[in-house]
Structure formats: structure tokens, C-alpha cells
Amino acid sequence: MNYLKISAFSCAGSRGSNEDNLLIDKLKKPALLGSTYIFDPVKVTLKENSCCTFAVTDGIGGMADGETAALEIIKYLYKNRTKPANDDYWLSLNKRCIKKAPYGGSTLVCCRLSINGGVLKSEFYSLGDSLIYMFKSGEKIEKVSRIDNCTGNSEKDAVQDSSAITEYFGKRYEDKIPVFKSETTINDGDKIIISSDGIRYLDSNDLAAAVQRRQFGENIAFSVANAALDKAKRNTDNITVIVMEYWDN
């Protein structure tokens, strides 16, 4: 039997409001509203030829419609979760974002999982500076998203200048949306972490320690967020984390 164990956590950090949002497809939780949210671990069975979508959006601070943009992206992803994520898909999403939130913008990280022939595969998509990490059993944590800001793609640069976002939904693009895509096969015991940039203070070692620590029972998402809050001395941006653990027995 193939299943996912899913946990999620979100908080405003030291900000006055939470402009993040999330999608947990299998649990029909298309939107997060409110400043603090905790979703305790739940097991979801994965059936053959099935697919599911998970996403985190982060409304860009300083933009009047940042929170709205983050929500509209989640609504679009949920409504169109079975459609192929091609260039037209992302163009349509960006048009919706501009229409619904003309003075806002949002970053996105998205994970689409599908199982065929007993093999679980993932498609990862990112735009902006939100984060996706793969924690393969017995290996180091690997960042599989791209950081779209003017400082580059390193963890150090992301901490130094996280606000200089160069790509995001809501931006007026003339042509295709530069969404970064990567694919991988998910194996027994692997973990996927998707989050807003609020956990950027954690390097790979910090993140691995937080995953292993599993504070408050087995809610890895809370453990990761709490580690980021501690390292930033509670002076941090909004934090939203979804963790998916895969087991094939």
C-alpha cells in the first residue's frame, strides 16, 4: 500500500498579518485564511493512476493586493489541478492574478504527485523565492526550487537579500512565464518540504536537524517552522510549511 503522511503549519512570524496561503489537494483544503494554522499529520492512501497537488504561495510584502494574489493562485491551482502545467496553464494563471489582484503579486512553489505502475513521480514548479526541498532517505537534503532574486540562487544570498524578487505571479510578462520545473522519482521514506521563504534562515544542516527532531509528536512542518523562528530570534517573515512523507508499505 502506498501512502503519504502530510503535515502543515503556518504563522505570521513577527509580521502583523499572514499573507501566505496553501493547498493540500487530497484533503480538500484549498485555502488558508487567518494568521496561524496547524494541520496535524494525516495519512492519505495513494491509489494507482491517481494524482494530487500541494502548493504554498507567498503574497509579496509592500504590495496592496499581495494577500489576494496568493489566494487567487491557490484557487486557480485547485480548480485546474488535473490540467497539464504547460506554458498556457501558467499564462492563464498570471492573467487571473493580474485581473483579481492588479496591485499585488505572489511567489509560488508547487508539487504535483502521480503514481503509475506503483512508481510515485513528482513534478516541482517554482517562481519567486519560496522553497522546495527533497529529503531522500539516507542522503542529504537537496533544494530543488530556484530562487528568483537579484542576488543569485545560494542559501547565503537568499538570506542576505530575500526581498529583491525578480520573478513572481502578477508581474506583466510579454511572453511565457519563467516557471522553473524539475522532476524526480519519490522512493520509500523520502520527504518533500515546500515552504514560503520564511524558513530561508535555515541551512541544509539546520533543516535536516529539524526534520529529525520532530517536535510536538510527528508534525515535521511545525518542527521546521519552529527552527526557523528560533534561528531568526522570532523576528521573521510569514512562515508556511507543508511536509509530505512517502511510504510504500
What would the DSSP string read from start to end of 159-218?
HHTTT-B---BTS--SS----EEEEEEE-TT-EEEEE-GGGTT--HHHHHHHHHH--TTT
Domain ranges of the chain: 2-247
Unique residue bearing C-alpha cell 517573515:
237
pLDDT (average), residues 138-142: 80
- Report residue 169 CA to chain centroid gap: 14
83 contacts 114 by C-beta, under 8 angstroms: no
pLDDT class of 136 with cuts at 50, 70, 90 = confident
Nearest alpha carbon to residue 163 among 73, 237, 104: 237
pTM tops 0.85, yes or no: yes
- Give dist(CA 108, CA 121) in Å, integer: 20
Distance of CA 73 to the CA centre of its chain: 12
Q: How much of the chain exceeds pLDDT 70, in percent?
A: 88
Sequence-distant (≥ 6) Cβ neighbours of residue 166 within 8 angstroms = 148, 149, 150
Query: Per residue in 56-88, pLDDT tens?
Result: 999 987 788 889 999 999 999 999 999 999 999
The arithmetic mean of pLDDT across residues 208-214, rounded, is: 82
Among residues 198, 195, 193, which one has the least CA distance to residue 230?
A: 198
Position with higher pLDDT, 152 vs 231: 231
Q: Domain spanning 2-247 has what CATH number?
A: 3.60.40.10
Top mean pLDDT of 20-24, 61-65, 121-125 is at: 121-125
CA distance 213 to 206: 10
